[in-house]
Amino acid sequence: MKPKEILVFGATGQIGRHLLRKLAKNNFKVTAVTRNSHTKGYVLKSQANAGWLNIVEIKTFSYEELSRLFKNKDICVNLVGILHETGKTTFNNIHTLLPKKLAQLCKENNLKQFIHISALGLDEALESKYASSKLNGEIEVKKIFKEFVILRPSLVYSIDDNFTTMLFNLLKFIPIFPLYYNGKTAFFPLHVSDMTEIIEKVILKAYKSEIIECIGPEKITFKMIIQKLAKSLNIKRFLLPMPLFVAKIFAKFFEITMKYPLLTTDQLIMLNYDNSPSGKYNTNVDLELNDGLKNFDKEISKYSYMWKAGGEFSKEKISD
């Protein structure tokens, strides 16, 4: 039987790299799309055996350039997302217009399934440009292509993320750590391997016309996350609630002075809303899409040694 052909956008990101391995192991032929194969291609080439992974470089997300990628494909997976805007890389272009183009091309080329990664906790945060662009993208996908599956993950973490690793860096060097909204924002952290397992099961079980909220096994507040990370480093930090007007000043300063801001004003808006299931849709737990969800404390302890004084020699023995 001819193996299914899967087109993956955003393949060089945290979820993408882990997903490629899983898809190749299931004998899917994968086309990974990147905008710079010279700097990102080496990361992808090691994720699958030769013949099962094709790396394609595109310069823009123009309709004409995208259309040539969809011929003879069965499934499209869109993992592309940004946390802050730079130049033409805006929330609207990436989260709304790109999914709209991909959905249209899925329809024109009669693909069997379009899996689109959105985010959890969007419905209440409508004043956030990030949230509104994600929701508009969902609307476009549902309107254009009926064989959609929209996945709404909570915080996805691993050694390859830009969240726990950034916090580890900060905790290592600053004795006082700011808490926004008193650190009460709730998350359901989901390990990247559990997230890719969800995508794998959605493909294997051929889900269609469904929104699935993707969560980890524990509800953890932002304050608890900081405490858990500090504990994993065997350090203590003073957690200081920061007034909102001060946080806004810092966020604006970071936006002006840093290429990759530690915090933006839009992210500050998002932190005012819990990253929790809405109750409107099934979750991965409801649908039993995971064989077992990974524990946050145990998983971060597997890579926190990188921020300890002894490095690898500070690692504790951890059983699987």
CA atoms within 13 A on the CB side of 122: 22
The confidence band for 283, taking pLDDT boundaries of 50, 70 and 90, is very high
Kindly state the percentage of the chain with pLDDT values over 90.
78
Average pLDDT of the chain to the nearest whole number: 91
The owner of tokens 């990102």 is: 40
Give tens-digit pLDDT for 125-152.
989 999 999 999 999 999 999 999 999 9
| Phi, psi for 225 (deg, rounded to 5) | -60, -45
pLDDT in tens, 83-118: 999 888 999 999 999 999 999 999 999 999 999 999
Which tokens sit at 165? 């690793």
The structure's pTM equals 0.92
Domain ranges of the chain: 5-157+189-216+276-292
pLDDT at 236: 94
Q: Tell me the C-alpha distance between 118 and 133, whole Å.
A: 10
Architecture of domain 5-157+189-216+276-292: 3-Layer(aba) Sandwich (3.40)
Q: What is the token pair recorded at 230?
A: 């500090």
DSSP letter at 241 equals E
For residue 309 the two structure tokens come to 């004084």
pLDDT at site 118: 97
* Per-residue pLDDT reduced to its tens digit, 166-220: 999 999 999 999 999 999 999 999 999 999 999 999 999 999 999 999 999 999 9
